[in-house]
Amino acid sequence: MKKTKALRFNGENNAKLGFSDLKLPQSLFNQLTSLRPLPSVIVFNQLFTAISKLKWLHPHSTIISLSRRLDLLGLPPDNYSLTILANSYCHLGFIDFGFSLLGKSLKLGYPPDCVTFTSLINGYILNDMLPQAAQLIGDNASALTLLTKMHSAAHCKPNLVIYNTIIDSLCKDSLLQQAMDLFSAIKTDGIQPNVVTYTSLIRGLYNSGCREEAKAVLTEMLKTNIAPTVVTYSTLVDMFCKDGNVKEAQATLQLMTHKGVTPNIFTYNALLDGYCLRGQMRDAKKLLDIMAQNGCEPDLAVALLEDMEDKGIRPDIVTYNILMDSLCEAGQLEDAAKFFSDLVLKGLQPSLKTYNILVKGFCKKGLMNEANDVLRKMEKDGCLSEDIFLVMTFPRHYTTAIL
């Protein structure tokens, strides 16, 4: 029979030190399970904890597989190992399995602690199941009661994920005083709020008309060196636009791109609404140009164009040129051609630049027949120039030299 003491000690040390890949912990697991008697479940918990820290390797399937092997060996789990396993299932989207482990934990006489509870909430959030996360917590009154009970229980202290979920729920229900009281309470408890906490409060306060309070929360966030996310910036752009301060909204857009945060459709839509409210239709039409300068995805530009038309802003040929150029650069020539047909149907006259964008796009892809079709239409419309004549005569030279 094999001796266990030396190997168990080595296993514990390795688990505490951590690993750089999955091969070593799997090998160590095999060695540990070959020992008789089997090491304590605590040793395996340390090993699984170390494996769970290899987040870039997506270790959750490995943890589940190894846990099943332990179960087959007859080693009973404790509350901590069930929590690790529940967390792994939740990360993979198998939240029902996570709940079944919660039931198993209760049957074994282990009270569910804060870590287990948070794992289940995280599972819902990670899988875009926010209504279920809110349902797990319950209504706001129940959530606040639960927090009080968790505070009084030594084994189950609420963490920032739970606080953020409840603060966001309070803000959405316009219960701002309760949200701010809870915000103060977590800081008193020594928990540092993060960007999610601040963004929920800024958005909630602003939407309830508490503009100055929202700005105060923003100032506090920046003073604590918490970097705003695209959600935070979009909220600010929307806030400034609805206040009629479009210049401040523009400055916020410039700041976020300077900080390396890419605007999304909500950011641009908020600015579009601001321009429309101020009657700045020329600036609204320039938004696509700004998007192109910021290197936005063509699909985002298409979505904004549709929003512009829904708001009664008729795109001009310059707008279409920007959009078509962006699509051609991304290799989406079929979409660019559709927009070309669309602008003609709407009675807009293609410019020489419009034709050039399409011809260059087709030539880059080696689609010479399609490029020649565009050139024939140009000739029909009287838009041919010396440059285009060179394209017709020396298409290969055009694609290599001119492009």
Q: What is the DSSP string of 333-358?
A: HHHHHHHHHHHHHTTPPPPHHHHHHH
pLDDT of residue 305: 74
Residue 394 has pLDDT above 60, yes or no: no
CB 50 within 8 A of CB 19: yes
How many angstroms separate the CA atoms of 402 and 400, rounded? Answer: 6
Number of C-alpha atoms within 13 angstroms, CB side, residue 11? 28
Structure tokens at 74: 């007859």
User: What DSSP string describes 220-262?
Assistant: HHHHTTPPP-HHHHHHHHHHHHHTT-HHHHHHHHHHHHHTTPP
Place of tokens 């089997």: 38
Helix, strand and coil percent figures for the chain, each rounded to 5: 75, 0, 25
* Residues shown for the chain: 403
Q: pTM here? A: 0.51
Residue 365 has pLDDT above 70, yes or no: yes
Integer CA distances (angstroms), 1 to 4, 32, 43, 133, 275, in order: 9, 13, 20, 50, 80
pLDDT of residue 11: 43
Higher pLDDT, residue 247 or 123? 247
Higher pLDDT, residue 162 or 42? 42
pLDDT of residue 354: 86
Average pLDDT over residues 299-304: 70
How many angstroms separate the CA atoms of 106 and 46, rounded? Answer: 22
Q: Phi and psi of 191, rounded to 5°?
A: -95, 125
Q: Which of 123, 205, 194 is nearest to 159 (CA)?
A: 194
Higher pLDDT, residue 244 or 133? 244
How many angstroms separate the CA atoms of 88 and 103, rounded? Answer: 16
How many angstroms separate the CA atoms of 148 and 151, rounded? Answer: 5
- Which pLDDT tens digit goes with each residue over 270-294? 888 888 777 777 777 777 777 766 6
pLDDT of residue 395: 47
Return contacts of 126-135, CB within 8 angstroms, 24+ apart. 126/90, 126/91, 126/93, 127/93, 127/95, 129/95, 132/95, 133/165, 134/165, 134/169
Q: N- to C-terminal Cα distance for the chain?
A: 75
How many angstroms separate the CA atoms of 213 and 201, rounded? Answer: 9
pLDDT of residue 377: 78
Place of tokens 């074994």: 108
CB 355 within 8 A of CB 374: yes
**Spatial CB neighbours of 33, under 8 Å, sequence gap ≥ 6:** 69, 70, 73
The rounded mean pLDDT for the chain is 76
Residue 220 has pLDDT above 80, yes or no: yes
Integer CA distances (angstroms), 394 to 145, 192, 243, 329, 388, in order: 77, 65, 56, 22, 10
Structure tokens at 36: 């008789």
pLDDT of residue 331: 81
Q: Band the pLDDT of 317: cuts 50, 70, 90.
A: confident
- Which pLDDT tens digit goes with each residue over 11-26? 444 444 467 788 888 8
Q: Band the pLDDT of 144: cuts 50, 70, 90.
A: low
Return contacts of 275-283, CB within 8 angstroms, 24+ apart. 275/246, 276/311, 276/313, 277/241, 277/242, 277/244, 278/244, 278/246, 280/246, 281/313, 283/246
Average pLDDT over residues 224-232: 90
pLDDT of residue 280: 78
Higher pLDDT, residue 394 or 85? 85
- Which pLDDT tens digit goes with each residue over 66-103? 988 998 898 888 888 888 888 888 778 776 677 677 66
Give the gyration radius of the chain's Cα atoms: 30
